[in-house]
A and B are shown apart, each in its own frame.
Chain A
Amino acid sequence: MKGCGLKNAHPVVGFLYFLSVFLLSLSMSHPVIAAVSLLFAVFYDGYLKGKKAVKSIVFAVVPVVLFVPLINGLFSHYGVTVLFVMKSGNSFTFEAVVYGLFLAVKFLSVMFWLDCFNEIIDGDKFVYLFGRFSPRLALVISMTLRFIPMLRDGYSEIEKAGRGIGFSDSDKNLVKKFKDTAHKLSVLITWVLERAIDTSYSMKARGYGAKRRSAYSKYVFTSFDGLLCAVVAALSGLSCFCVFGLRALYNPIIIIDSFTLPDTLSFASFVMLLLLVYAVDIREKKLVKPFEERKPDGYLMYG
Chain B
Amino acid sequence: MPKKSKRPLIVSLVCFLVLCPLTAVLGALFLKSRSYYLIAVVMIFEAIVPFFFYFEHRKIKTSELVTVAVMISLCVVSRIFFVFLPQVKPMCAFVVVTGCVFGANVGFVTGALSIFISNFAFGQGMFTPFQMLAMGLCGFFSGLIFYKKDTVKNRLTVALSGAALCFFVYGFLVDTCSVLMLDAVGSINEAVGIYASGAVFNLIHAVTTFVVLMLVIKPMNDKLSRLRIRYGIFAYQ
Contacts and interface: CB of A to CB of B under 8 A. Distances in A.
A192 B224 CA distance: 12
A189 B74 contact: yes
B116 to A, nearest CB: 8
Interface in B48-102: 52, 55-56, 60-63, 65-70, 72-74, 76-77, 80
Interface residues of A, number: 51
B227 interface: yes
A117 interface: yes
A164 B51 CA distance: 46
B192 to A, nearest CB: 9
B67 A140 contact: no
A262 interface: no
From A68, A145, A182, A189, residue with most partner B Cβ within 10 Å: A189
Contacts of A29: 34
Contact of A122 (B35, B120, B181): B120
A197 B61 CA distance: 11
Interface string A121-140: 01100100000001111011
Interface string B96-133: 00000000000001000100110010011110000000
Contacts of B35: 26-27
A189 B2 CA distance: 34
B220 A115 contact: no
B43 to A, nearest CB: 14
B124 A145 contact: no
Interface stretch (B14-22, B156-164, B167-175, B182-190): B182-190
Contacts of B62: 200, 203-204, 208-209
Interface majority SS (helix, strand, loop, mixed), chain A: helix
Contact of A71 (B61, B120, B182): B182
A197 B231 contact: yes
Contacts of A26: 35, 37-38
B74 A117 contact: no
A111 B66 contact: no
A23 interface: yes
Nearest to B63: A200
A151 B74 contact: yes
Interface in A235-294: none
B182 A147 contact: no
Contacts, number: 128
B117 A114 contact: no
Given A123-B120, A136-B65, A192 B74 contact: yes
Contact of B126 (A71, A110, A201): A110
Interface residues of B, number: 49
Interface in A176-219: 182, 186, 189-190, 192-193, 195-197, 199-201, 203-204, 208-209
A198 to B, nearest CB: 9
A76 B190 contact: yes
Contacts of B183: 103
B77 A72 contact: no
Contact of B193 (A75, A139, A208): A75
A144 interface: yes
A189 B117 contact: no
B76 A148 contact: yes
B66 A76 contact: no
Interface string A147-164: 110111000000000000
A115 B193 contact: no
B223 interface: yes
Nearest to B189: A75
A269 to B, nearest CB: 21
B144 to A, nearest CB: 22
Given A72-B190, A122-B120, A140 B65 contact: yes
Given A76-B186, A147-B72, 11 more contacts: A26-B37, A75-B184, A76-B187, A103-B183, A107-B126, A137-B113, A140-B72, A144-B76, A189-B223, A195-B70, A200-B66
Q: Which 4 A-B pairs have the closest CB atoms?
A: A75-B190, A147-B73, A200-B63, A143-B69
Interface of B: 31, 34-35, 37-38, 52, 55-56, 60-63, 65-70, 72-74, 76-77, 80, 109, 113, 116-117, 120, 123-126, 181-184, 186-187, 189-190, 193, 215, 219-220, 223-224, 227, 231
